[in-house]
Amino acid sequence: MTREVHKFGGASVRDADAVRNVGRILADVARADVGLAVVVSAMGKTTNAMESVWSALPQGEAAIPAVERVRRFHAGILDGLSMPWSVLEKDWALFEDTLAAWKGQAADDRGYDALVGFGERFSTRIVHAHLAALGLPVEWVSAWELIVTDAGHRAARVDLEETRNRVVQRMSMGTGALYLTQGFVGGTLDGTPTTLGREGSDFSGALLAEALDAERLVVWKDVSGVMTGDPRRWPPARRIERLDYG
């Protein structure tokens, strides 16, 4: 049996069609002889929107329009997938409780980590519901309890050993297993949410791949690999076939 980790970034889940595409890819990759762990980040530009919510926190009510934008965006994607709002109901309630707890307070880094990572939770709940509807045996895992970090909020350092222990314990990776978790977020030993830094979801994927001793980590992109430039802005950009770590 082989083990694989697949990571999908924000662009890969930016709307209902993109989520359907992820479903097609995973239905294709899931085979009886492979154990899969899947990392998904927040949908589209949600993390930027969550940062707006966070920075409006000190002004209390000022955060409401940004919260409403986040709600409407996800409700629209659920609609596009013909799924009910109840998919997000629990996490949305938790998000509102967290907002209420932080409203009117200084927008510090701990508050950032308490709030911004909800983008990944919403995203993975929606993808989970979609994969389950396709009949895939998907299990949702909270990265708050999976990726163990210090309390260096917004740039937390990962405790590799404890993370490896938890991943191995939580993801048995038996035949046909399909685990789905959030990129970018982690939590301290006492359960306080943290984040790994912007664009941190690729790193989350690498952490899982290492912990699970996976054969490969596949980072799905809207381009065919690491390129010499952004092909939308610079058409001669070409793919780099091999890159060393340095």
Which residues of this chain interact with ligand ASP, rule CB under 6 A? 9-10, 41-42, 47, 119, 183-184, 198-201
Pick between residue 47 and residue 124 the one whose CB is nearest to ligand ASP: 47
Pick between residue 123 and residue 163 the one whose CB is nearest to ligand ASP: 123
CB atoms within 10 A of CB 80: 14
Pick between residue 62 and residue 206 the one whose CB is nearest to ligand ASP: 206
Q: Classify residue 109 by burial, with Cβ atoms within 10 Å: 0-12, 13-18, 19+.
A: middle
The residue assigned the tokens 């938890």 is: 166
Pick between residue 43 and residue 141 the one whose CB is nearest to Mg ion: 43
- Calpha distance 23→26 (Å, rounded): 5
CB of 245 vs Mg ion, minimal distance in Å: 20
Pick between residue 136 and residue 196 the one whose CB is nearest to Mg ion: 196
Q: What is the DSSP letter of 223?
A: S
Task: Answer with the entry of Mg ion, ligand ASP, none that 193 interacts with (C-beta below 5 to 8 A by kind).
Answer: none
CB of 45 vs Mg ion, minimal distance in Å: 10
Task: Answer with the entry of Mg ion, ligand ASP, none that 200 interacts with (C-beta below 5 to 8 A by kind).
Answer: ligand ASP
Task: Answer with the entry of Mg ion, ligand ASP, none that 183 interacts with (C-beta below 5 to 8 A by kind).
Answer: ligand ASP
CB of 182 vs ligand ASP, minimal distance in Å: 9
- Chain center to CA of 157: 18
Q: What would you report as the CA-atom Rg of the chain, rounded to the nearest whole angstrom?
A: 18
Task: Answer with the entry of ligand ASP, Mg ion, none that 194 interacts with (C-beta below 5 to 8 A by kind).
Answer: none
- Calpha distance 150→156 (Å, rounded): 6
CB of 194 vs ligand ASP, minimal distance in Å: 13
Contact yes or no for 225/176 (Cβ under 8 A): no
Residue nearest to ligand ASP (CB): 201
Contact yes or no for 215/2 (Cβ under 8 A): yes
Pick between residue 6 and residue 164 the one whose CB is nearest to Mg ion: 6
Closest CA to 3 of 201, 144, 213: 213
CB of 112 vs ligand ASP, minimal distance in Å: 12
Q: Which two tokens stand for residue 159?
A: 């405790």
The H-or-E segment that residue 210 falls in is helix 201-212
* Overall size of the chain counted in residues: 246
Task: Answer with the entry of Mg ion, ligand ASP, none that 184 interacts with (C-beta below 5 to 8 A by kind).
Answer: ligand ASP
CB of 172 vs ligand ASP, minimal distance in Å: 26
CB of 81 vs ligand ASP, minimal distance in Å: 20
Q: Which two tokens stand for residue 205?
A: 């994927």
List interacting residues with Mg ion (CB under 5 A): 9-10
- Calpha distance 189→76 (Å, rounded): 36
